Structure 1
Amino acid sequence: MEEPRLTTRRTDRRRVPRHVLAVLPFAVAGLISLLLSGNTLRPLEHITTIEARMASKSDYFRDPEVQRLLLRHGIRVDIHRLGSRGIATQSLRGMDVVFPSGQPAAKLVLDRQERSVRSVRPFVSPLVLGTFRDYAETLVEAGVATPQPAPGGTLYYDLDMVRFTRLLDGVDDPRSPKDGTGRTADTWNGIGYDDISRDGRSNSGRVLVRTSNVCESNAAGTYLSLLAFVANGNRTPGTRAGGDTRLAADAVQRLAAEIKPLIDLQGMWADEQAESYFSDLGESIAPISLIYEHQYLAHQIAHHDRHGEQDTSRVLLYPTPYALTEPQLISLTGKGDRLVQVIQEDEDLRRRAIELGFRVRFSGADGTSDQLNAYLAEHAIQVPRENSDRTKVYEPDLEILEDIIDLVGDCPPPVRDTP
């Protein structure tokens, strides 16, 4: 009997299995995505984690696009959030870089270093007051603010700080007929808010600015410098002929006592002002909040991208005189040096800063607005007009500023690194 034969089916070895064909488009798409993002070899690269202590400018390093661009250099930044003055006065142990939001705090950090450090000031951002349209129009009627011209309603107002501070003291001012009288002095209804409000709202509360903690925050410290500058007749406290910047202790105390009520009345909040201001309950939380310009512009850009229009309910008050903040990224270690170098040299990171509302520095200049203004115009966002009054607030000598901050804020003593 013949043995049974086992037969096999002939297959074409050149044919690709159907299941492979089914997933091939997804694999190709994934490869293209990795190539375009620059992440093709990312699993094989070494990622350096940099420990960083930052204040409000941590917004920049938390941006997903900035994080992606840093990964191209093999860098990941681990952010520890703290106010600028807190950064300068507390322990820096374990940190590779710090990023205080202004020069007074940066100088305090630099004075503590025993090594030669690298640093960069990549952008600048004016200090502004975020408010809501009816409140801004109330200040216009009170003769304190002036709207910047724009078709269909402006987003920006210029704020006369000399007149505005008279509304912060809670005292009836005979020089200001629209200041309110008696118990209504310096209240929102006292200066006409209930008449201006388009939906019949009323606010009998005091005219105040919500700030962060002056003992911890660069924004609050800069605002304090602005108030001191105005109270001192638009002169930097301590400025004397011949370059002598000393100020007698009793003079510091008198100046601090004059501006302290303007700060105490605001409650010394220490939370993030911008998050509260841009929240759905922002107007209920505070009529006016102290923020940075870049935070407002970034909000407007994102709002237009989502809704196709500007957020016309929220507006900005630009103080006159004005205060400009210069955040400084300071390296404390060799790993920090690498981050500073990347921030200095990477054009894509600079371009992303513009897209986030910052006024980016170029070639050592104080800052440029041209590229930011062009970007805003491209996104149908009103471009803020440069104020014709170019009086700039310069912070007092660091020792004087520290004395004023301590007197106004009753600040605790600094925590230094132990040997």
Structure 2
Amino acid sequence: MAVDAAREEKALREVTSRLVEDYGEAHPAERVEAVVGAVRKRFEGHSVREFVPILVERIARRELDPKRGKNTAGQVELAKASDGAAASPEGPAETTSVFAAVAGRFVPVRLVENKRALGAVAAGVAVVLAAGTVLAVRHSDSPSVTSAATALTTVRGVVGSEKAAFFDDPRVAEVLAKHGLKVEVEPAGSRQIATSVDLGRFDFAFPSSSAAAERIQRQRGVSGKYVPFSSPMAIATFKPIADLLGQSGIVQTGATTTFDIEKYLQLAEKGVQWNQLDGNSTYPVSKNVLVSTTDPRTSNSAAMYLAVTAYVANDNTIVRGTKAEDYAVSRVSRLFTRQGFTESSSDGPFKDYLANGMGTVPMAWIYEAQYVDAAAHDQLKPDMVLMYPTPTVMSQHTVVPLTDKGDQIGKLLTTDPDLQRLAADHGFRPTDVTLFTKVTTAHQIPVDANLINQITPPDYDTLEHLLDGIAKSYN
């Protein structure tokens, strides 16, 4: 119950932030917060909590913008729940939009708002859960009753683990449901998606780089692809670590914090440990000074780390040809083999970073989107810092459609304005970068919007050869 309460509190904070952002020009923040608080009180004491944040947002929006509250022909409520509520002495039940969880997803239904009706809603939702459909029934202002079942088309995808939270967002499910779709995803490392996952079970693959996508396209004979959003690679660390490496000239602080890959590579090649750094009283441990990554054999984020470090190791030149590949691998392989156990996908090390502090993960190679998403949802501790490696590389999150349904998802993710906005809410940089800037500005997250110092990743075959070389180094 404590976990559910915390989840509800977090969801309501997000609701308040969205409403302040959307109605800031018409209402002061205090007014918005007061409306949310008043609406929330209507649901005190009810045991059915799953829908409360969504109900609160919908009702608050109607009160902040009365034009949104006018009933339309499409406004409906659960028939059996509303039958009992309509005769309630509390008066006619108004309706508002809410989404019921069906097979782990949220689909549109209409629920009544008064307190006596909410109890009846639980039974109605159970019917929806059993049926797996969306019910369209009686208007609140009409005695006539009609019913229809509108089935959602299920689309299955395998996605990079850093995008799982995006697809788990009820707001994303809501937008997709408006298009008649319910998306079910399985997370996996992007290189796993490209090399070992049985793609025959899915309608689309959504790895985190163009290289992994290209491999899938070659294997499946697919020509089409979509790039709905991107995210540069970054390093998550802590202020004491950034200050310590600043003394070595590796880290530079300013409007954003940068991490010099060339100076870092020189230090790592010597096998320098943390307790050997001059003036180190904050992290005096006998471990190599290394950035923690995922396993390059399974994960795209580690492959992007390899692309950046190989570029720097090759005298800041794109790696081309066997000689350059062998030379680069000889210089950077220790960055991986000295780490010990590594996770298969990017979700693991970032969760360790958030939960366990610098004792376990002093520096984690991540997608910028992971840090921005955590910052926007109040998951960061005060001493956590985002560093941009110089140079860095942009990871192009690429949808490879495997069926017509998968193609529809690729198009929607790329063109639907609501899905693009929600991608920005989860820290990704959509095609309209102003959406990303709006999120980072609202939450005061220091990011480098321009990222001038980027490399072009090596071509597909070269990256594969580099990864093969690293894999051999483990043996």
TM-score, structure 1 length as denominator? 0.76
Residue 128 of structure 1 is aligned with which of 206, 226, 234? 234
Residue 204 of structure 1 is aligned with which of 282, 286, 292? 286
Query: Residue 415 of structure 1 aligns with which residue?
Result: none
Q: Deviations over 1:322-367 (max 9, x none)?
A: 11100101110121122122223311111111111111114xxxxx
Larger RCO (alpha carbons 8 Å, 6+ apart): 1
Letter in 2 for 1:400: T
Distance 1:128 1:23, change over 3 A: same
CA RMSD of aligned residues (A): 2.6
Query: Residue 49 of structure 2 aligns with which residue?
Result: none
Q: Deviations over 1:167-224 (max 9, x none)?
A: 22234xxxxxxxxxxxxxx2222224633x3xxx532321111111101111000100
CA contact (8 A) 2:222 2:400 kept: no
Distance 1:406 1:277, change over 3 A: same
Query: Residue 210 of structure 2 aligns with which residue?
Result: 103
Query: Residue 176 of structure 1 aligns with which residue?
Result: none
The answer to whether the aligner puts 1:359 opposite 2:451 as a matched pair is no
Query: Residue 364 of structure 2 aligns with which residue?
Result: 289
Once the two structures are TM-superposed, the CA of residue 268 in structure 1 deviates from its matched residue by 4.8
Q: Secondary structure at the match of 1:121?
A: strand
Residue 54 of structure 1 is aligned with which of 159, 169, 173? 159
Q: Deviations over 1:115-172 (max 9, x none)?
A: 554x2101110100111110011111111111123xxxxxx4111111011222234x
Distance 1:329 1:385, change over 3 A: closer
Q: Secondary structure at the match of 2:183?
A: strand
CA distance in 2, matches of 1:396, 1:189: 35
Letter in 1 for 2:369: H
Q: Secondary structure at the match of 1:21?
A: coil
Query: Residue 469 of structure 2 aligns with which residue?
Result: 407
Q: Secondary structure at the match of 2:375?
A: helix
CA distance in 2, matches of 1:355, 1:18: 37
CA distance in 2, matches of 1:253, 1:327: 28
The answer to whether the aligner puts 1:340 opposite 2:410 as a matched pair is yes
CA distance in 1, matches of 2:85, 2:214: 66
CA contact (8 A) 2:375 2:443 kept: no
TM-score, structure 2 length as denominator? 0.67
CA contact (8 A) 1:193 1:202 kept: no
CA distance in 1, matches of 2:378, 2:327: 45
Larger Rg: 1
Once the two structures are TM-superposed, the CA of residue 267 in structure 1 deviates from its matched residue by 2.1
The answer to whether the aligner puts 1:215 opposite 2:320 as a matched pair is no
Letter in 2 for 1:282: G
- Mapping of residues 7-406 of structure 1, within 5 Å: 20-22=87-89, 24=91, 27-28=93-94, 31-34=95-98, 39-40=109-110, 42-43=134-135, 44-55=149-160, 56-90=162-196, 91-114=198-221, 116-117=223-224, 119-149=225-255, 156-171=256-271, 186-192=272-278, 194-195=280-281, 197=282, 202-238=284-320, 247-248=321-322, 250-271=323-344, 272-279=348-355, 281-303=356-378, 311-362=381-432, 368=433, 370-384=434-448, 386=450, 390-406=452-468
Q: Deviations over 1:358-394 (max 9, x none)?
A: 11114xxxxx3x332232222333344645xx33222
Once the two structures are TM-superposed, the CA of residue 38 in structure 1 deviates from its matched residue by 5.3
* Structure 2 unmatched ranges of 5 or more: 1-82, 100-106, 111-132, 136-148
* Structure 1 unmatched ranges of 5 or more: 1-15, 150-155, 172-185, 239-246, 305-309, 363-367, 413-419
CA contact (8 A) 1:160 1:321 kept: yes
CA distance in 1, matches of 2:268, 2:436: 33
